[in-house]
Amino acid sequence: MESPLRLGVIGIGAMGMAVARNALDRGITVAVRDIRPEADREAAAAGATVCASPADVGCASDVIVVLVVDRHQVDAVLFGDDGVVRGMAPGGIVVVSSTIEPAFAESVGPRLAAAGLHHLDGAVSGGPARARDGTMSMMASGADAPFARAEPLLRQLATKLFRVGTRSGDGARAKMLNNLLAGVNLSAAAEALTLGERLGLDPHAMLAVIRASSGDSWMIGDRMPHALAGDFETRAAVDILKKDLGIVTGAARANDYPTPLADAALGVFEATSRMGHGAEDDSAVLKFYRSR
Amino acid sequence: MESPLRLGVIGIGAMGMAVARNALDRGITVAVRDIRPEADREAAAAGATVCASPADVGCASDVIVVLVVDRHQVDAVLFGDDGVVRGMAPGGIVVVSSTIEPAFAESVGPRLAAAGLHHLDGAVSGGPARARDGTMSMMASGADAPFARAEPLLRQLATKLFRVGTRSGDGARAKMLNNLLAGVNLSAAAEALTLGERLGLDPHAMLAVIRASSGDSWMIGDRMPHALAGDFETRAAVDILKKDLGIVTGAARANDYPTPLADAALGVFEATSRMGHGAEDDSAVLKFYRSR
């Protein structure tokens, strides 16, 4: 029997830390690296091995989950000085879970292959709470052999593990389409509830009705209860979903494909950001409508 | 103890017939009226009393649920020759469940009051299957006394009974806002899945991923499984949701309120209808996107 796979987590922000803690709870060996010393200290206290560089994480891991912020950071931690490719033994598997452009995700596979490493897309959804208990969803894609090898480990991190394709980039594409719906459904929730306020309806009563009716969505149920209570503490920022919607509309335009709903939602997020709410919770799109 | 309330149902299309059958199953006395003789025959076979006119339904009922198609029919069955106001005893309660413009719903209350009758808004959601087993939602509004009197009966028709306000029109407003979300979430579902098709993703795999993620909505789960299977048999037509979205955007414009998401969804439904799919299932918005 093969010895248990060792996990590396690069980028231990809210999501990465939750993934690492969940893995440690399950008895998995975890090596981490973040550029922020306080994050590294927190991970060490939780039982992770803190490495000096992404290359060292590579050296200490069989499967690495990358959860840094954007494609520039993904590029740096994989291919930069002291990047993963400089330390990971051939046959290692790199799961890129950061939200990145599909075209960039597509380019990662061949570049890792040149170093003898396997690439899996592993975009995630569900937020830190579900990452912490291992019930988040993961949209994975990649070749059969590395997927089969990593699957038992990935299922401990994400009970809702979906193999959406065999191509590098398909996981990123799936995440992009989910983001389209999250952004549209959230904007529409704010549009409906605030129009109701304007018409004299109680938004709390409206929310209860909609949740029991055909207008229900995951986003209205997750975001509107705290937003209607005036709590806009940031779980996911306006500017993050604005960026994600920009990736969608950019990919659609590049394929000459119409996305009128995503375009409209992007406009709402841009306007909310211009009003100065870009760093607030994405439910602050309510404030755009209420200001009209 | 007061004797059980007698129910009248005017307009026994798919929804009205389901409501009548559910009531009959529960031992409620039901009087009905439809302009189509075959519908009246079907209701008679199920055990309802078929009346010759809406006035006669009024005469035979304590609470009437109106489920005709639009405001013109509501106006005719309530206030026309042989309308409900000519037959119903003072104190009777008229629940208008047809989807109508809020401003028209608002006008119904005073006109019924002039005949000694009470008006409740009672917009419904959930479709014929949930009407048949009494688990649909109803968005009710109106004065306290008639609501309290009708409530036990209404709860047998709609376990998810919500009192959204005390004003005539609030039920219609709530339904309108639910329709906004249903229309937007459905258009967005089609937009995301067909963009995925264009990008080479399997739409069935995409649907499974999204249903487990933050992009999920009631509409994507209800409509897309049969639409992706190529089944566009009409449950609710493109032209119905197009009309409903037009009511929303009209009410928003009248209040100088922005609804960019609803506007975009209306555009998708209008384009789908112009392509000749207006009488098909509303999930045929897929065909608009696939034609691009």
pLDDT digits (tens, 9 = 90+) for B229-283: 999 998 889 999 999 999 999 999 999 999 999 999 999 999 999 999 999 999 9
CA angle, A133 then A9 then A52, to 5°: 140
B204 backbone φψ class: left, alpha, beta (φ>0; ψ -120 to 50) = alpha
pLDDT digits (tens, 9 = 90+) for A41-85: 999 999 999 999 999 999 999 999 999 988 999 999 999 999 999
Q: Where are the domains of chain B?
A: 7-167, 174-290
Q: Which residue of A has its CA nearest to B249?
A: A195
Instruction: Say how far apart CA A191 and CA A9 lie, in whole Å.
Output: 38
Residues 6+ apart with CB under 8 A from B113: B119
Q: Which pLDDT score is estimated for A235?
A: 83
Interface of B with A in 249-288 (CB under 8 A): 251-252, 255, 257-265, 267-268
Query: Which residues of B fall within a CB distance of 8 Å from A122?
Result: none
With a cut of 60, say whether residue A1 has pLDDT above it. Answer: no
**Homologous superfamily of domain range A174-290:** N-(1-d-carboxylethyl)-l-norvaline Dehydrogenase; domain 2 (1.10.1040.10)
Q: Which pLDDT score is estimated for A248?
A: 96
Average pLDDT over every residue of A268-276: 98
Provide the percentage of residues in chain B whose pLDDT is more than 70: 99
User: A138 to chain B, minimum CA–CA distance in Å?
Assistant: 8
CB A104 within 8 A of CB A76: no
Average pLDDT over every residue of A281-290: 97
Alpha carbon A145 to its chain's center: 24
Q: Does A217 touch chain B if contact means CB atoms closer than 8 Å? A: yes
Q: Between these two residues, B292 and A268, which has the higher pLDDT value?
A: A268
Nearest to B195 among A137, A218, A257 (CB): A257
Q: What is the pLDDT of chain B when averaged over all its residues?
A: 96
Place of tokens 């890792």: A112
Q: Does A237 touch chain B if contact means CB atoms closer than 8 Å? A: no
Contact call for A212 and B257, based on CB within 8 A:
no
> Which residue of B261, B270, B285, B288 is the best one to mutate when testing the A interface, meaning the one whose CB has the most A CBs within 10 A?
B261
Average pLDDT over every residue of A140-146: 97
Report residue B119's pLDDT band, with 50, 70 and 90 as the boundaries. very high
Amino acid residing at A46: A
Q: How many CB atoms lie within 10 A of CB B281?
A: 19
Average pLDDT over every residue of A183-200: 97
Q: Which pLDDT score is estimated for A2?
A: 64
Report the complex ipTM: 0.90
SS (H, E, C) chain B: CCCCCCEEEECCCHHHHHHHHHHHHCCCCEEEECCCHHHHHHHHHHCCEECCCHHHHHHCCCEEEECCCCHHHHHHHHHCCCCHHHCCCCCCEEEECCCCCHHHHHHHHHHHHCCCCEEEEEEEECHHHHHHCCECEEEEECCHHHHHHHHHHHHHHECEEEEEECCCCHHHHHHHHHHHHHHHHHHHHHHHHHHHHHCCCCHHHHHHHHHCCCCCEHHHHHHHHHHHCCCCCCCCEHHHHHHHHHHHHHHHHHCCCCCHHHHHHHHHHHHHHHHHHCCCEHHHHHHHHHCC
Q: Does A160 touch chain B if contact means CB atoms closer than 8 Å? A: yes
Average pLDDT over every residue of B162-186: 96
CA nearest neighbour of B53 among B78, B30, B70, B72: B78
Report residue B2's pLDDT band, with 50, 70 and 90 as the boundaries. low
B175 is known as an active-site residue: yes
Average pLDDT over every residue of B89-97: 97
Query: Which residues of B fall within a CB distance of 8 Å from A252?
Result: 195
Least confident of A119-128, A151-160, A252-261: A119-128
With a cut of 90, say whether residue A3 has pLDDT above it. Answer: no
pLDDT digits (tens, 9 = 90+) for A5-45: 999 999 999 999 999 999 999 999 999 999 999 999 999 99
Instruction: Say how far apart CA B288 and CA B273 lie, in whole Å.
Output: 9
Average pLDDT over every residue of A146-168: 96
**Homologous superfamily of domain range B7-167:** NAD(P)-binding Rossmann-like Domain (3.40.50.720)
Instruction: Say how far apart CA B84 and CA B97 lie, in whole Å.
Output: 15
CA angle, B211 then B214 then B216, to 5°: 35
- Does the pTM surpass 0.80? The reply is yes
pLDDT digits (tens, 9 = 90+) for B70-87: 899 999 999 999 999 999
> Which residue of B213, B269, B272 is the best one to mutate when testing the A interface, meaning the one whose CB has the most A CBs within 10 A?
B213
Nearest to B185 among A165, A188, A208 (CB): A188
Greatest alpha-carbon span in chain B: 66
